[in-house]
Structure 1
Amino acid sequence: MLKYIIILFLVGCSSEQLVFELPTLNDSSSKSVATKSSNTTQTTEALPETPLTLNVALAQARDNSPALRASRFRLEAQQQRLKVAGRLPNPEFAIKTEAQPLGSNASSTSTSDSGDTLIGFSQTVPLGGQAATARAIETEAFRALQLRHDGLALELESKVRGAFATALSLQQAALLQTQQLQRLNQLLDLRQALIDAGELIPSDDLELRVQHSNLGAELVQIRRNQRLAQDELTARMGLVQSPTLALLGDLNATLDLPHLNDLLDQLIDTPVVAEAFSQAQVAHLRAQLAKANRVPDINLELFYRQTADGQDAFDAAVLFQLPLNGRASSNSRAAKAEASASQQHAQLQLQESRIALAQSYAQLKQAQTALLRHQDDILAAVEQKTDVFELRYKLGEISLAEVLQQRNVFAQAKLQRLAAWRHFMLAWGRVRQQDRLLP
């Protein structure tokens, strides 16, 4: 089993404080970054005021999704059809008179010779087992709609997870970039003091000032992208207005991801594939119904008759259609061909889903490898080097300016890890969309 560390976005902190831990392989190497909103510099913006966790975002998206609402209405409609499926047609009740004289004969005829009165009903009875087949069709159609609803829910969840991961990573990137800009401001203040003291010349600060300008421009772009990501997230949640959000995540959990072969073995149970096979089963049942319709229905008639002379009697009849035009046979052959086509479509859907799952799983493995490289190799090495710089600064071996520069390098490594984490979460969401077995 491959173990991945996935962020579970739970409410664990107030709207004034955000604690966020990046995914790691073990608890000992997990690092938390705690940040608070402040206005210490002109480039720092206040943290959003509306806290939001992934679970809340998913719940609101499911409640507000027009696609899921429409799917629920279709399920309700199909459930009503299922209630009456397989029942016999309504009987026909009739009251009629027969042999009534017309014209001059009517006035000259006695009351006893006025005609017969009939009261009775007729009932159509299928003989080919159509009732049971019709109920089986509606039952399987309801199952297909339920599977489609599950597939829509998984697709929506994948999109919300992706939008949340993007917005959260950009939010953290903005915080790290702001901290990096603050450290660079401190470094510029120190160097300005050295310039004022005559130890440096103004041209020595040109490179740092260019870096400061670039960081400011990058921060502005990150803020814009963060706003766009939050707008997408709120749109996925079905909100008309886009409030300012504080995305919260403060707990890491180890999730066991099944091996690719295990996922492929269970692929037929995923909503999109199961729906295709369910539709094929519906087509097969309709072919059976068309075959049953080759047997003509019979119509039973039973009437009470009161004759013109006052005698009681009854009429009984059995009626059936003569299949002379060959329509029933043609419909049966057409339905059988449609069933074969639906079965082939289901097999194609299984094949395409297998390919898509394998590709998404490969992307997930690649994203995980990149994340672990940033986490265990790059970031760990930069962090170790930063600790050495901090220790040397405390011992007085290096200046504060050198420490601040190394802290900027450390911040850049954290930004790269954030980007790797976002790609990992997006890849994980795509795999989860294609397999309902994932946690």
Structure 2
Amino acid sequence: MFRSSLLCISLMLAAAATAPALTLSLADIGPKVRTSHPTLKAARLAVAEAQGRQLGSGRLSNPSFGYALQNQSKVSPQTGVFSIDQAFPITRRLSLEKKLSSQMVGAAELEVRDAERRLIAEAQSLAVQLMSLTQQRVLRKQQTALATKLSEFVRGRAKVGEISALDAAQAQVDAQRLLLETRKLETTSISLMGQLKPMLGLPPEEALNLSGNLPELAVPGMGAGWMQRADYQLAQTKIAAATTDQQLAKARRLPDVKAGVFASREMQDVTPTYRQYTGYYGFSISIPLPFWNRNQGEIAEKAASAERALLEREALGKQIISEAETARLEMQANADLAHETRDKLLPLVIEQTDKLEKAYEQGQTNLLTILRAREQRLQLEAAALDAVRDFHLARIRYEAATGKHAPAGAATSSTPAKR
């Protein structure tokens, strides 16, 4: 039995190891987060809770049934009284309760949409960093291959005594340094992947590949669609709900009126041999008199809540505008930096490095100059990749700030970045 269990576990692990990796593009991250993020699955139950509360709102209270029995005495007959009472509001309380519950359902739905917006932005940021690290690792591997080739060349020259053995050792150290940097990037990728998988609803052992390239650097124009952002719409809904709640507090100034009907049956033993039956019926009403309490405290509270909701919406609007414009300016700055580095500086450095390598092979310069030139080239190439990464991180912040969940790379009112 124990061996069969071990065999089953081994087969399951082997199947998991050989299972094909899930491949997603940057544009697939958003839909995958919407459908698979465990937090969103739990958040959607809040909508169901609000809908359940809506079912019980705006309804009359249940009627009450009463029965009273009084035995006969020498001066009064035996009396049984049946009554049914119902409370009726004399204000718009029920319709306001129904309206408020409907607004709270809308608020719960907007809270889920806002959570989607924030979680999608977070997951897309992780994906962009992972894709950028992949490019950085490819760059380091290329540089490592070049450094290894140079190290072998220098070691061969050192064996025949044409150059110093110290140069050979320095070239080998440089190749090992680049290899160590590549491993550090792999460690960072493992950490980021460990953060991304739970957001996509994936277990740690499932393999995940990110396909495709980062979109072109296109800076969006000034847009005014941020008012459709979920949390801003939520702030609008809270204002409407606070206004309704304020009206509801005013409607509660007058308590419900109670009305009812009753019927009585009386029995009186007139003589030992004669029993007389009588009865009556009628209508009752109870009107509360709001002399001492007119709900002033709750009315003042709800008025302050409505004012606070207005101020919170104004503050949120200013914050959204600032976030969007800051992210857009960061996009433009990083796009300019990437183009400046790739189109102007890198070609000059590459050309100079090639000339220095040829001069070194001919014995016209020293190894330190070659290593310094290669280090400058690596820094510029890495800086260009970092600028592209930072551009797309700012783009994700801009789309999150404006409430745009367009697929990555979609040209929504975008213009090419200035060169």
Structure-2-length-normalised TM-score? 0.77
Given the alignment, which residue of 116, 121, 127 partners 2:80? 116
Q: How does 1:140-289 map to 2 (within 5 A)?
A: 140-241=103-204, 243=206, 245-250=208-213, 252=215, 257=220, 259-260=221-222, 262-263=223-224, 266-289=225-248
Any unmatched runs of 5+ in structure 1? 1-47
Q: Is the 8 A contact 1:301 1:317 kept in 2?
A: yes
Q: Which amino acid aligns with 1:367?
A: N
Q: Could you say which residue in structure 2 is the equivalent of 1:54? A: 26
TM-score by length of 1: 0.74
For 2:264, the equivalent position in structure 1 comes to 305
> For 1:165 and 1:76, how far apart are their aligned partners in 2?
34
The 1:371/1:83 distance shift into structure 2, 3 A limit, reads farther
Task: Report the counterpart of residue 332 of structure 2 in structure 1.
Answer: 365
Letter in 2 for 1:67: T
Provide Cα deviations, 1:68-125, integer angstroms capped at 9, x if missing partner. Answer: 2332111101011223322222222x25133334xxx5xx999xx432241x422111
Give the Cα separation in 1 of the matches to 2:318 and 2:71. Answer: 71
- The answer to whether residue 60 in structure 2 is matched with residue 88 in structure 1 is yes
Is residue 183–residue 408 contact of structure 1 (8 Å, CA) maintained in 2?
A: no
* 2:295 partner SS: helix
Q: Which residue of 2 aligns with 1:4?
A: none
2:313 pairs with 1:356:
no
Q: 1:123–1:136: structure 2 CA closer, same or farther, 3 Å change rule?
A: same
Contiguous gaps of at least 5 residues in structure 2: 1-19, 268-275, 407-419
Q: Distance in 1 between matches of 2:123 and 2:307?
A: 37
**In the comparison of the two structures, how many residue pairs are matched?**
373
* Deviation of 1:242 (Å): 5.5
The whole-number CA distance in structure 2 between the counterparts of 1:180 and 1:233 is 29
Residues 1:192 and 1:225: Cα distance change in structure 2 (over 3 Å) = same
Check conservation: 1:303, 1:316, Cα contact below 8 A: yes
The answer as to whether partners of 1:116 and 1:305 remain within 8 angstroms in 2 is yes
Residue 334 of structure 1 is matched in structure 2 by 301
In 1, Cα distance between the equivalents of 2:125 and 2:255? 57
Task: For residues 318-374 of structure 1, give each alpha carbon's deviation from its aligned partner in whole angstroms, at most 9, with x where no partner exists.
Answer: 112221222423322322222122222222222222223322222222222222323
Aligned residue for 1:100?
Answer: 71
Could you say which residue in structure 1 is the equivalent of 2:404?
437
Q: C-alpha deviations, 1:205-227, integer Å up to 9, x for none?
A: 24422321321221222122122
* Offset of residue 169 of structure 1: 1.1
RMSD: 3.6
Q: Secondary structure at the match of 1:241?
A: coil
Partners in 2 of 1:280 and 1:269 — Cα distance? 16
CA distance in 2, matches of 1:175, 1:90: 73
The percent of aligned pairs where both chains have the same amino acid is 19
**Distance in structure 1 (CA, Å) of the matches to 2:405 and 2:260:** 60
Alignment CA distance shift 1:51-1:206 (3 Å): same
- Given candidates 306, 318, 324, the residue that maps to 2:291 is 324
Query: Which residue number corresponds to residue 37 of structure 1?
Result: none
